[in-house]
A and B are shown apart, each in its own frame.
Chain A
Amino acid sequence: MKHELPKLQYSPNALAEVLSEKTMEFHYGKHHQAYVNNLNSLIQGTKFENASLEQIIMEAEGGVFNNGAQVWNHSFYFEAFSPAPKHMPEGDLLKAIEVSFGSFEEFLSKFSNAAATLFGSGWAWLVVDADGKLIITQESNAGNPLRKGLKPLLTCDVWEHAYYLDYQNRRPDYIQAFWKIVDWRVVEKRFEQAR
């Protein structure tokens, strides 16, 4: 199965207030595309040739895992953005966030802190654990919570390539701005499907 770069649901300059067109062109057009290309060439003739990305994330190691997980992670990351986002969750998701973190503001602060303190390259995640509770996790490099039996709802890419052209060393500024484009409609939908 040939993996493909998913289409963005917005134009590359639509998020410019937070992520510049140049960042989008490189991050989506070069990095994400390179992971897709690398994955396709690495799986040729292997047992992963017809595997889903999820299977690859659960079972693969080395380059196949790294590229497969990075394809999934980036698709999941870009999919949650919108130039006209819903700024706050409602209903069951909001309730679950309040149960797990106290309040939406507490959640924002804990997730932001997880993203800010991940040392090196990686991702911060909001996930549903096996007991249906929401938790925040960090993963290095291509790490993906599916591998630990967790169901991802939201992620923030803190590889430097995600923000360096726009924010340089100021990762906390990027994380703060990230919240302006997260579309909670998408996260709510993921939460429904995860339950």
Chain B
Amino acid sequence: MAFQLPKLKFDYKALEPYIDEMTMDIHYNKHHGTYTNNLNNAIAGTSIEALPIEEILQEVSKLSPAVRNNGGGYFNHNLFWDIMSPNGGGKPDGALLKSIKKFFGSFDEFKEKFSNAAATRFGSGWAWLVWTGKDFQVFSTPNQDNSLMDVADIKGIPILGLDVWEHAYYLKYQNRRSEYIQNFWNVIDWKAVEEKYIAATSK
């Protein structure tokens, strides 16, 4: 079973003006598409070929760098498209908001911490909100690493992720990464994030 590029829930220009059509098209088709193909090539004919992506990521320390890089790239972008929507923005509510308040004090404090993690990642990488099994953590990872990998410093289930590779924002924002990060809050689909939170905490 080969991994498939997942269908987007919105069209390429749906996240305008925050994420432009050309960036969406190239980011999804070329970057995410290439990670998907490279992952499939890296695992073809091996014992991990039929495993779910989460299980593959749990053993990347034993696998080739191609699996770590492309497997991470495949999973991370799946999550990224999933937690954005043209009807996004605002704030979470219910159990997720309660939990954010419990671990960060307030939604605004969480937002600041997450934005700071995204802004200060040097080079390519991701900012994350992760459920560790007992609490929430906000941090960033380099390149396409994530908290599902056995090589991760902090392990847990990613609930929200922001891509800060330059390819995610350079066509529209160039060197202004902080403006991209600020605008990301307008397209977060908190319903999708809450679903991930519920799934993670009920495990």
**Which A residues lie at the B interface, using CB under 8 A?**
26, 30-31, 34, 66, 119-122, 140-142, 159-161, 164-165, 168-169
Whether B170 and A161, one on each chain, are in contact in the complex, defined by CB atoms closer than 8 angstroms, is yes
Whether A26 and B123, one on each chain, are in contact in the complex, defined by CB atoms closer than 8 angstroms, is no
Chain B residues with Cβ under 8 A from A34's Cβ?
Answer: 175
Number of B interface residues, CB 8 Å? Answer: 20
Shortest C-beta distance, B151 to chain A (Å), equals: 14
Whether A120 and B142, one on each chain, are in contact in the complex, defined by CB atoms closer than 8 angstroms, is yes
For residues 100 through 124 of chain B, which have their beta carbon under 8 Å from a beta carbon of chain A?
122-124
List 6 extra interface pairs beyond A160-B165, A160-B170, A161-B166, CB under 8 A. A120-B142, A122-B123, A140-B123, A141-B123, A142-B123, A165-B170
For residues 58 through 83 of chain B, which have their beta carbon under 8 Å from a beta carbon of chain A?
65, 69
Chain B residues with Cβ under 8 A from A159's Cβ?
Answer: 123, 166
Q: B41 at interface (Cβ–Cβ under 8 A)?
A: no
Shortest C-beta distance, B16 to chain A (Å), equals: 18
Shortest C-beta distance, B103 to chain A (Å), equals: 27
Whether A169 and B34, one on each chain, are in contact in the complex, defined by CB atoms closer than 8 angstroms, is yes
Chain A residues with Cβ under 8 A from B143's Cβ?
Answer: 119-120
Chain A residues with Cβ under 8 A from B171's Cβ?
Answer: 164-165, 168
Chain B residues with Cβ under 8 A from A121's Cβ?
Answer: 123-124, 166
Shortest C-beta distance, B23 to chain A (Å), equals: 9
Chain A residues with Cβ under 8 A from B69's Cβ?
Answer: 119
Q: B30 at interface (Cβ–Cβ under 8 A)?
A: yes
Whether B123 and A164, one on each chain, are in contact in the complex, defined by CB atoms closer than 8 angstroms, is no
